[in-house]
Chains A and B, each alone.
Chain A
Amino acid sequence: KAGVTQTPRYLIKTRGQQVTLSCSPISGHRSVSWYQQTPGQGLQFLFEYFSETQRNKGNFPGRFSGRQFSNSRSEMNVSTLELGDSALYLCASSSLDQNLVYEQYFGPGTRLTVT
């Protein structure tokens, strides 16, 4: 099976602009989660979608939003970019294993730089 793919891999934006990142999950996976990784804050959960519905959301401002399509592909959007939004954005897709535990598989990430 193909792994999780994220596009673009690298992105440079200017403060005040908006950006959309895309994630294609592993075939058959219906859950997609997004995380932000920075040297200062580490890995932080943004949100999780399952069958086009947001099931869980982290503590990020409303400028961060996401959605999931019927084919399970997901996008996240950040509006009015700030310098502090510079980070590696990771997408993970997951399915239930035999113990009914969600096992998350990560894509390579999108490196966003805000100048």
Chain B
Amino acid sequence: GDSVTQMEGPVTLSEEAFLTINCTYTATGYPSLFWYVQYPGEGLQLLLKATKADDKGSNKGFEATYRKETTSFHLEKGSVQVSDSAVYFCALIEGNYQLIWGAGTKLIIKP
């Protein structure tokens, strides 16, 4: 079945560092891909999405490109802030309305 694999955390960076969180997926067809973010004590917020190959999703300085050839959707940000500290989830949806989730990557940004 479909699955999503994320790099394990926590990822600890200094403020203004470059961020990459790796995400790869397995799917039988052509899924849509998402990144969600969860701040402490809160629900999940949609960060960005991409619906077809080579699409780039972007929001709040975060970007991710749908790479079908490598089945990847890595999250990047050029300069992280302390306020970006959260757990980031990669997910896909294909056909049956059910989001398939990665395990989540905790990001810690130190001032």
Contacts and interface: CB of A to CB of B under 8 A. Distances in A.
Interface of A: 4, 31, 33, 35, 42-45, 48, 50, 55-56, 58, 90, 92, 94, 99, 101-109
Interface residues of B, number: 20
A104 B91 CA distance: 11
B42 interface: yes
Interface centre among B43, B97, B104 (most CB of A within 10 A): B43
B51 interface: yes
A103 B97 contact: no
Given A33-B99, A103-B46, 7 more contacts: A33-B98, A55-B96, A90-B43, A99-B51, A101-B32, A106-B43, A109-B42
Interface string B25-46: 0000000100010000011111
B44 A90 contact: yes
A101 B99 CA distance: 12
A42 B99 contact: no
A26 B108 CA distance: 31
A34 B18 CA distance: 34
Contacts of B43: 4, 90, 106-109
A27 to B, nearest CB: 18
Nearest to A43: B101
A66 to B, nearest CB: 14
B45 to A, nearest CB: 7
Given A101-B93, A106-B45, A107-B43, A45 B99 contact: yes
B49 interface: yes
Nearest to B96: A56
